[in-house]
Amino acid sequence: MTHIAIADQTAHLHHPKTFIGKYIWSQDHKVIAIQYSVTAIFVGLIALLLSVLMRLQLGFPGEFNFISPDAYLQFVTMHGMIMVIYLLTALLLGGFGNYLIPLMVGTRDMVFPYLNMLSYWFYLASVIVLLSSFFVTGGPTGAGWTLYPPQSILAGTPGAGSGIVLMLLSLTIFIIAFTMGGLNYVTTIFQARTRGMTLMRMPLTIWGILTATILGLLAFPALLVSAIMMLFDALLGTSFFMPAIVSLGEPLNHEGGSPILFQHLFWFFGHPEVYIVALPAFGMVSDVLSVHARKNIFGYRMMVWAIVIIGGLSFIVWAHHMYVSGMNPYFGFFFATTTLIIAVPTAIKVYNWLLTLWRGNIHLTVPMLFAIGFIFTFTHGGLSGLFLGNVVVDLPLSDTFFVVAHFHMVMGVSPIMVLFAALYHWFPLVSGKQLHTGLGKVHFWGTFLGTYAIYLPMHYLGFLGVPRRYYALGDTSFIPESAHVLNEDITIAAIIVALFQLVFVVNVIWTLRSGPRSVRNPWGVASLEWHTPDVPPAHGNWGDALPTVHRWAYDYSVPGAKQDFIPQHVAEENVEYEAGGRRVGEGE
């Protein structure tokens, strides 16, 4: 039986008439994307504030009475969880995934718009449940974002009562939301591509989002399993993860559970999660670099293969987070090997980005600055990962600030650099207005240099052996006075970086209120999303007829062509060449 791809069916499109139908209970992927993005950025700002509070305590211990040891641990935990799950995952996949997939593959909407709408509302519910834990007795959980039992549910840990339960519930709701959204993304990419859009003609952004979504769909169940089992341990007294234990002098009813089992489950999710965040960022940065260097992406096929291989490998490296858990040393050898192997496809990507820039016509626009900044931060974060991937090097560095510096560079700062590159790059498409370039550059330099001022010294603190998750260092013999001074400096840098983010917020508000209208396709992009009849794209995206794709998304500076880019939907016979110019390799 043959089926018409849903991309071509206009009948199923839900045409809302009222304000609420259009902007609140919307089934339009673009509105849902904006809802996701605004919510994610809102919680992200809360997490940013929490990090400033943490830094105040670390830089100036004892100066701020309202930051108690419990509160400090709660800030650490909520900052980590919000940033990784509720900001990065939600913004990259729920925000950019929703906005870009239908436009880049040339369809009118996601294949299941109603499910897509539900996905956002479940996400919002998960955020509300999470934030509500700030207002319950005992406050949010302070167990660290890894939520390791038994301490996460034992009395004495902040938020061990309601806080941890709300966290686990919120994660459960988030996973349901992600699954609904994720099913939409993969099905839309596989089923609803427009005519001519073969898989290998898709922009790398879509490859990144597709692979990350598949990773998420297979990895989030591990978090769900551990959340369900821990909820049972916390609420019903089962002993999945809880061993026989004496708490505050009283023996508890638990017996025989395995806390290490939780760690395995958590990291079976947790490591792919790194790539759930990284792969969409890899894809988007590839597109931004290619567009603003006016050059086709170097090694497109290798980039696709690298994305897929990294995705596959990410499922067999999880225990490198557990070298100090007391597991069998042969395990450590295996996981160190797989971890180092994953550096190969990752390095291929970095080389290809550099070779894309090589002899390109580089335009130092704000998105390009952030994209180049990403190459720096990601390479630095990746190199420190090579240290930590080795068991013998990891053991002394485990649970020190070296680890904090490493993962902030590689999966904090780097994806954030790409997110800003993407926000500046696609803002004219989403809003019809272009963000102010001067403010954008101020924002970039403040963020780029500022984050280095935060995290480079942190590596040094780690070498000294300064432990993470400590409320205060006190008079510790092996920590010199200079480390305390460094902590003060890092805190000042963190506050400055946080303030620079307000420049971005001001830029967005000012541009939306009184910024000039952007020209159509201001960056000269070849991929489909910039070639809708209306900008910003109207409901249904493509007017009467869907575009037909004739080429890949990277025809920039084609030799002999009059224009410096050829859009994906332009057929070869419609391309204007200079007199006598003819494309190399043309199939005639």
Partner 1 sequence: MGWFGILSEKPWIPEARGTSAEWGRTAYTPAVKISLRFMLGIISVFFLLFFVTFISRSQYDDFLALAGEPWQPFTNSMRLWINSGVLVLASVAMQGAVYALRRNHHFRLLVLLATGAVLAILFIILQISVWQFLAGMGYSVAGNPANSYFYILTGLHVLHLVGGLVALGRVVNSLREEGDLQNRHAAIEACAVYWHYLLGLWFVLFFMLTRTPETYALIAAACGLG
**Which residues make Cβ contacts (< 8 Å) with residue 587, sequence separation at least 6?**
none
Q: CA 167 to CA 130: how far, in whole Å?
A: 6
Q: How far is the CB of 193 from partner 1 (least distance, A)?
A: 5
Contact (CB, 8 A) for 246 and 252? yes
Residue with token string 């390791």: 148
Nearest-approach distance from CB 293 to partner 1, in angstroms: 16
Q: Looking at residue 584, what DSSP letter applies? A: T
Q: Which helix (H) or strand (E) holds 246?
A: strand 246-247
Question: Which residue reads 């003060």 in tokens?
Answer: 488
- Which of 104, 192, 371, 404 lies at the binding interface for partner 1 (CB under 8 A)? 192
Could you say which residues in the range 306-345 bind partner 1, by CB under 8 A?
Answer: 308
CB nearer to partner 1: pick between 158 and 216: 216
Backbone dihedral region for residue 197 (phi beyond 0: left; psi -120 to 50: alpha; all else: beta): beta
Is residue 338 exposed (0-12), middle (13-18) or buried (19+ Cβ within 10 Å)?
A: middle
Q: Which of 10, 12, 155, 536 binds partner 1 (CB under 8 A)?
A: 12
List of residues 6+ apart from 216 with CB closer than 8 A? 89, 93, 178, 182, 272, 273, 276
Residue 225, burial from CB neighbour count under 10 angstroms (0-12, 13-18, 19+): middle
Q: Which of residues 246-265 bind partner 1 (CB under 8 A)?
A: 253, 255-258, 261, 265
Site string for partner 1, 106-145 (x = CB under 8 A): -----xx---------------------------------
Q: Does 98 bind partner 1 (CB under 8 A)?
A: no
Q: What is the token pair recorded at 47?
A: 């997490």
Q: CA–CA separation, 178 vs 283, rounded Å?
A: 20
- Residue 147 CA to residue 151 CA, distance in Å, equals 8
Counting residues that bind partner 1 (by CB under 8 A) gives 71
Judged by CB, which is closer to partner 1: 182, or 381?
182
One character per residue 194-223, x = contact with partner 1 (rule: CB under 8 A): -xxxxxxx---------------xx--xx-
Q: Which is nearer to partner 1, 295 or 436 (CB)?
A: 295
Residue 196's contacts (CB-CB under 8 Å, 6 or more residues apart) are 548, 549, 550
Of 220-239, binders to partner 1 (CB under 8 A) are 221-222, 224-225, 228-229, 232, 236-239
* Contact pick of 552, 556, 565, 567 for partner 1 (by CB under 8 A): 552
Instruction: Find tokens 């989002």 and name the residue.
Output: 209
Based on CB atoms, which residue is closest to partner 1, 254 or 292? 254
**Contact set for partner 1, span 284-303 (CB under 8 A):** 296, 300-301
551 binds partner 1 (CB under 8 A): yes
- Residue 418 in contact with residue 204, Cβ under 8 Å? no
User: Is 189 or 423 the residue whose CB approaches partner 1 more closely?
Assistant: 189
CB nearer to partner 1: pick between 72 and 552: 552
Q: C-beta of 220: minimal distance to partner 1 in Å?
A: 8
Q: Is 565 helix (H, G, I), strand (E, B) or coil?
A: strand
How many Å apart are CA 149 and CA 335, to the nearest integer?
A: 23
**156 vs 585, beta carbon nearer partner 1:** 585
Choose between 175 and 490: whose C-beta lies nearer to partner 1.
Answer: 175
- Closer CB to partner 1, residue 239 or residue 390? 239
Helices assigned H by DSSP within 134-236: 162-191, 204-236
* Piece in contact with partner 1 (CB under 8 A), picked from 317-325, 388-396, 518-526, 545-553: 545-553
Q: Which of 117, 147, 183, 419 binds partner 1 (CB under 8 A)?
A: 183
Residue with tokens 């539900």: 118
Closest contact distance (angstroms) between CB of 577 and partner 1 is 12
Pick between residue 11 and residue 392 the one whose CB is nearest to partner 1. Answer: 11
Tokens in use for 43? 């919680």
* Spatial separation of the C-alpha atoms in residues 314 and 276, rounded to whole Å: 10
Binders of partner 1 in range 451-490 (CB under 8 A)? none
Contact range with partner 1 by CB under 8 A, out of 13-21, 125-133, 433-441, 544-552: 544-552
Q: Smallest distance from the beta carbon of 188 to partner 1, in angstroms?
A: 8
The continuous run of DSSP H or E covering 250 comes out as strand 250-251
Work out whether 573 is an interface residue with partner 1 (CB under 8 A). yes
- Within positions 362 to 391, which residues make up the interface with partner 1, using CB under 8 A? none
Give CA–CA dist 530/552, Å, rounded. 14
How many other C-beta atoms lie within 10 A of the C-beta of residue 63? 9
Whole-angstrom Cα distance, residue 307 to residue 283? 8
CB of 374 to partner 1, least distance (A): 24
Residue 59 or 540 having the CB closest to partner 1: 540
> Site for partner 1 (CB under 8 A): which residue of 505, 538, 571, 576?
571
Q: Does 186 bind partner 1 (CB under 8 A)?
A: yes
